[in-house]
Amino acid sequence: MRQIITLKDDWFFAKNKQEQIPQILPENWERVSLPHTWNCLDGQDGGSDYYRGACWYVRELQISELPSDTCIYIEFLAAASLCKVYVNGTQVTEHEGGYSSFRVDITAFLHKGLNLLSVMTDNQHYDHIYPQVADFTFYGGLYRDVRVLTVPKTHFCLDYYGSEGITACSEIKNGNQVQLSLHAYVSNAKETDQVLFSIYDQEGSLIAQTAQPAAADTYTEFFLSDVHLWQGVQSPYLYSIKAELYRHNEVLDQVTVRHGFREFHVDPEKGFYLNGILTPLRGVSRHQDFLGLGNALTLAHHEMDARLIKEVGANTIRLAHYQHSQDFYNLCDEMGFIVWAEIPFISRMSDTPDAHQNCILQMKELIYQNYNHSSICFWGISNEITIGANTPQLLANLKDLNALAKTLDSSRLTTMAQLSSLPMEDEQNCITDILSYNHYFGWYTGVLEDNEKWLDTFHQSYPQRALGISEYGCEGIISYHSDTPKAGDYSEEYQALYHEHMAKIIEERPWLWATHIWNMFDFGCDARKEGGVAGRNNKGLVTIDRQIKKDSFYLYKAYWNPEPMVHICSKRYGKRTDSAIDIKVYSNAPEISLYVNGAFFKKEQGQRVFLFRNIPLKEGFTTITAKSAFCCDTAVFEKVSEPFSAYQFVEDASETGVTNWFEHVDLNKERELTFREGYYSIHDTAREILENKEASDILVNALSSLIGYNLKKSMLAVMGDNRLCDTASALPAEEAQTEKAMAYINEKLQEIPK
């Protein structure tokens, strides 16, 4: 029978280059346990300087015996991002891509007694490995489990893209009658070997069983009546499917997967349907990192995240921007979240031919490894990929990826997340089954009302294209507060105001097939320095340590979670100078009563957002309580004589671009594009330009003016190795205007020696 041992402890780690493959246990190295990343601290502290390079892990394997009828595999649930594995000094495999699982049979390289397992992982930039550039930290390391699998020579296949060796697919025929199709893939089967399929309900009762020969095409179908459907968060009912490989009277190997019977489709005019029931998908996006841990999370961390997402009331999660842990996909199955799963084809396409093959590999691994997760309904093929450039080759590659996904799994829908500036009429929008856009109107550019204007224009222009919002959000830092919040002040109040607007317009547009907040949690991006916070994207509804729920979290809880709740906003804005203040309350109750120092003040009726004006503050402290029929919340405010200066973020003007840089420039003037050697130009990368103060001023001012938003230099650092000229297609200005602007930018850069 299959045996699984997790190699958690007794690893030795070195963060430096090794001249040769370790031949003995390096006991002078740092001792670590898995999961582990070397970027848990420097990947979240800002400066765009976290360590990216090759590191080594070494561990002994004790092998007591090596029976001739046994195979021993080593399995890596993820290793970021280039990984080479050695056993007793001999390389046994190499894997490219930092988010998927891979295995290798190491039986032939082992001997009885102590063996040495050496693993090199490398998260430096490679032109042929995705992601190339993105707005998050590319943590390195063995940040998920490493396991040893011991199986008989005849076993369920372990060699096919990290898959499970069994697939389950179902089709609802009539009401709660289903056809279940099962496929098993067996390595080294003998003619008499059999696979026994057993179906169990969620209570553990056996409901169906059959056997098929293992040496042939091991396929079977069940027709089941009176099944309990998997109805998302309302009823995430899962059956268990056990496949047992047996020879005569002995079970050789066993695999169990879970399955939820469900069907779904998207109507461009009405939205998402699950089992024939209209189910508006309203939820969040999630990154897989945590404060002080990077992406080296345990099951307990994944469970914490899932519980918080359930508490906010979301019914869908976009698991961005790469393959996530099997632990989290399992939790989504159990809790009923509808999942968008995607590959890290993000921000920029590499022109290196091998890069597309890496994209294809990661798509195959994503689908084969996660085929049996009933929560997954959508395969994502890219995210904001036109930031780098929009080229004919990119279009061809996207079509190739979409066709691949449909070939590997025709039961699910394909989708992609488009950059906000991509024109509505672009051919990319016709590739996938459905699509979504990332929009930040009211934060990076424009005003809040631009969101509904854009959405309505698209829906009216292309009514047969199912449209969603794959990202929307704004930074909210709980230190900052304002009575007059505005975009760019980073205040908790503006983040709440932004989401109040977005939640309302989304509810008014049920035809949006799915909407995903960016982001559920603050996450690490070492290149960023936003609102005085280095190394972090602060758009989360919850802080990166999962300790503090921002006011915007409670807004969505009022919208999405039917459990009675009342929340007083701006509790962290405790010191006030005014004699009377306004109090905002979020609740899913129809009526809220407000009490000031225990005395009834006023009752308001409404929906989700209740505003009480002119609440008097006495000298010292005033206690305010908001009550519904079922629950209440209390906050304390202190009247002070002087404003508390720490509530206001003061921007460093030298780090921020201006939006009128072209104001006195004649862009219609003919300019020859020159590229003098030894001087900066638009052919340089953002990373190179940002190294020079004068050149970086040109970059931030020019791009701020082109998009109409005061960019920060730290934000441009996420462009990394993107050439400035390649970003032109991603800008919102018209092509001709952008070309003229680029010519002027190049002229100014050519005046600056390197």
Pick the CATH number of 3-153 from 3.90.79.10, 2.60.120.260, 1.10.8.60, 2.30.130.60: 2.60.120.260
Indicate the average pLDDT of the chain: 95
CATH topology identical between 166-259 and 575-647: yes
Which pLDDT band holds residue 733 (cuts at 50, 70, 90)? low
Q: Tell me which of 180-194, 225-239, 298-312, 734-748 is least confident.
A: 734-748
Segment 391-412, tens digit of pLDDT? 999 999 999 999 999 999 999 9
Taking the C-alpha atoms of residue 374 and residue 336, their distance in angstroms, rounded to an integer, is: 9
Phi, psi dihedrals of residue 658, rounded to the nearest 5°: -105, 160
Count the residues in the chain. Answer: 754
- Angle ∠(715,396,411) on CA atoms, nearest 5: 95
pLDDT category, 179, cuts 50, 70, 90?
Answer: very high
Percent of the chain residues topping a pLDDT of 90: 89
- Express each pLDDT in 443-461 by its tens digit: 998 999 999 999 999 999 9
Q: What is the predicted pLDDT for the residue at 176? A: 86
Check if 638 is active-site.
Answer: no
Percentage of the chain exceeding pLDDT 70: 100
Instruction: State residue 623's pLDDT score.
Output: 98
Q: Is the pLDDT assigned to residue 710 strictly greater than 90? A: no
Query: Which one from 96, 384, 475, 492 is the annotated catalytic residue?
Result: 384
- CA–CA gap between residue 391 and residue 638 (Å, rounded): 58
pLDDT at 714 over 80: no
The pTM for the full model equals 0.95
State the average pLDDT over residues 14-40: 95
Domain ranges of the chain: 3-153, 166-259, 264-563, 575-647, 655-749
Task: Identify the pLDDT of residue 216.
Answer: 87
pLDDT at 251: 97
- Judged by average pLDDT, the poorest of 150-154, 172-176, 504-508 is 172-176
Residues 710, 659: contact at Cβ < 8 Å? yes
The CATH label, of 3.40.50.150, 3.30.1130.10, 3.20.20.80, 3.40.50.300, for the domain at 264-563 is 3.20.20.80
**Reported confidence tier of residue 210, pLDDT bands at 50, 70, 90:** very high
Q: Quick one: CATH architecture of 575-647?
A: Sandwich (2.60)
Cβ-based neighbours of 734, under 8 Å, separated by 6 or more? none
3-state secondary structure 529-545: EECCEEEEECCCCECCC
Q: Are 528 and 46 in contact (CB under 8 A)?
A: yes
166-259: in CATH 3.40.190.10? no
Among the listed residues 492, 483, 611, 479, the one whose alpha carbon sits nearest the alpha carbon of residue 541: 492
| Mean pLDDT of the 245-261 span | 97
Rounded Cα–Cα distance for residues 43 and 172 (Å): 46
171 in Cβ contact with 179 (< 8 Å): yes
pLDDT at position 726 over 90: no
